[in-house]
Amino acid sequence: VINVWKCMNVKLFIVFVYGDICNPRLVNHIFATESIDIVFHFAAQTHVETSFVWPSRYHMVNVEGTRVLLKAAFEAKVEKFIYISTDEVYGESLYKELDETSPRRPNNPYSVSKAAAECLVLSYRERHKFPVIITRSNNVYGPRQYLEKVIPKFVSFLQLNKKCTIQGTSPQSRHFLYVDDAIEAFHTILERGTVGETYNIGTDFEISIIQLARELIKMVRHVPDAELDDWLEFVPDRPVVDLRYPVNCEKLWRLGWKPAVSWAEGIRRTVKWYQENPDFWPDVKPEDQPITFEPDNAQPLN
C-alpha cells in the first residue's frame, strides 16, 4: 500500500503494517506477532515501463521479496500461500489462447521477475509440499487504482486537459477485469482451488488501447466523435511490447466463477469515482521509492 492512510476507512478487523517485504526481520516479526493462516501475496513492483529503467528494483521486490515472504510463511506453517502473478509471464500470443499449461515466455523485466518468483513458489511446493496456489490475471481496473496504470492515467490526463499518450503505433490490446470480479475470483480460489495448481483469471472482453482512450475521452471530455483523435498523442514505444494476452480461464470457470461486471458498467463506475475523487493520489509519483522499516518501527496503524 503506497499511502496506507488512504485505506483507513476499511481498517475494521485489519491491521496495517507499513514496511518492506524485502526486510526479513520485519516479515518474521509480523508472522511472530500476528495469527496468520492464509497469505495472499500481492506485494510487487508492477509497472512494465519503469521495469526497463530500474530492473534491479523489480528483481529485489518481486523475487527477493517473495523469497523472504515464502520462507517466513513456510516457517509459520500457514495453511495456504496464494501467489498473485500475471498473464504477462506467458508473453504475447496473437492467435492462440493461453492456458495454465502454456510455456512462460516473459518479455520484459517485470514479467521476468514475476515468472522467477513463480519458480520460487513452486520450488517450495516441490521440496517441502508447501500448500501454494498461483494465479495469473488480466489487467485489473477500478476505483482507487494507482495513476501509473493506463485507465487512471488517461482519466487524470483528461481531467487536467492533457492528451492521452499512446505508445507507438502497434495494435496493442488488453483484456480488462473489474476489481470486484477479481476479488470474487480470489475468494473462489481460496475456497475451492486445489493446492499446487495455477489459475488464469480473466474476461473475454478485449479492447485496443487506442479505442480505450477514445472511450475515456468521450466520457470525461464529452467531445463529439469527430474530435476524439484530437485528444490523442503518439509517443515513442517502450523497448519491448506484447500486443495481446488471450488467456483461457475455463479452469477457474469450472470452480464456479465468471466475471459479473460488464465493461460498460465497470468503466462507468471507475470514471465516476475518479471524477468524484480528483485529489485521491495528489502526492504519489511513479518514481516513489520503497521504504524499509525495522520491526521496532513497524507499528500497527490503529
List helix spans (H) across the chain. Answer: 24-33, 48-51, 55-59, 65-75, 109-128, 150-159, 179-192, 209-221, 250-253, 263-276
* Strand duo 80-86 + 132-137: pairing: parallel
Q: Is 180 designated active site?
A: no
Q: What is the DSSP string of 216-260?
A: HHHHHH---GGGGGGGEEEEPPPS-------B--HHHHTTT----
- How many structural domains compose the chain? 1
Which of 20, 83, 87, 118 is catalytic? The answer is 87
Q: Is residue 12 included in any domain, yes or no? A: no
∠109-247-259 over CA atoms, to 5°? Answer: 115
For the question of residue 215 being annotated catalytic, the response is no
Alpha carbon distances (Å) from 7 to 3, 41, 299, 301? 8, 18, 16, 10
Within-domain flag for 14: no
Residues in the chain: 302
What radius of gyration do the chain's Cα atoms show?
20
Q: State the DSSP H helix or E strand holding residue 206, giving kind and residue range, or none if neither.
A: strand 206-208
Q: Residue 249 is part of a domain; what is its CATH number?
A: 3.40.50.720
* Residue 136 covered by a domain: yes
The phi, psi pair for 289, rounded to 5°, reads -90, 145
pTM for the model stands at 0.88
Instruction: Return the sign of the alpha-carbon dihedral for residues 203, 284, 216, 162.
Output: negative
Residue 98: inside a domain: yes
Q: Of 96, 126, 25, which Cα lies nearest the Cα of 246?
A: 96
Q: Among this protein's residues, is 124 annotated catalytic?
A: no
Domain of residue 230 covers 22-278+286-297
Q: What is the pLDDT of residue 268?
A: 98
Q: Which of 20, 58, 83, 88 is catalytic?
A: 88
- Is residue 250 one of the residues assigned to a domain? yes
Q: What is the pLDDT of residue 172?
A: 84
pLDDT number for residue 7: 55
User: What pLDDT score was predicted for residue 120?
Assistant: 98
Helix, strand, coil share (%) of the chain residues, nearest 5: 45, 15, 40
Catalytic residue among 58, 83, 90, 110: 110
By the 8 A CB rule, do 159 and 275 touch?
yes
Q: Is residue 1 part of a domain?
A: no
Query: What pLDDT tens digit does each residue of the chain (302 aa) get?
Result: 445 555 555 556 788 888 999 999 999 999 999 999 999 999 999 988 889 889 999 999 999 999 999 999 999 999 999 999 999 999 888 888 899 999 999 999 999 999 999 999 999 999 999 999 999 999 999 999 988 899 999 999 999 999 998 887 778 889 999 999 999 999 999 999 999 999 999 999 999 999 999 999 999 999 999 999 999 998 887 777 777 888 999 999 999 999 999 999 999 999 999 999 888 876 544 334 333 334 444 444 44
- Please report whether residue 185 resides in a domain: yes
What are the two backbone dihedrals, phi and then psi, of residue 200, each rounded to the nearest 5 degrees? Answer: -75, 140
- Residue 55's Cα: distance from chain center in Å? 17
> Is 192 contained in some domain?
yes
Give the N- to C-terminal CA distance of the chain in Å, as an integer: 16
- pLDDT computed for residue 289 by the predictor: 38
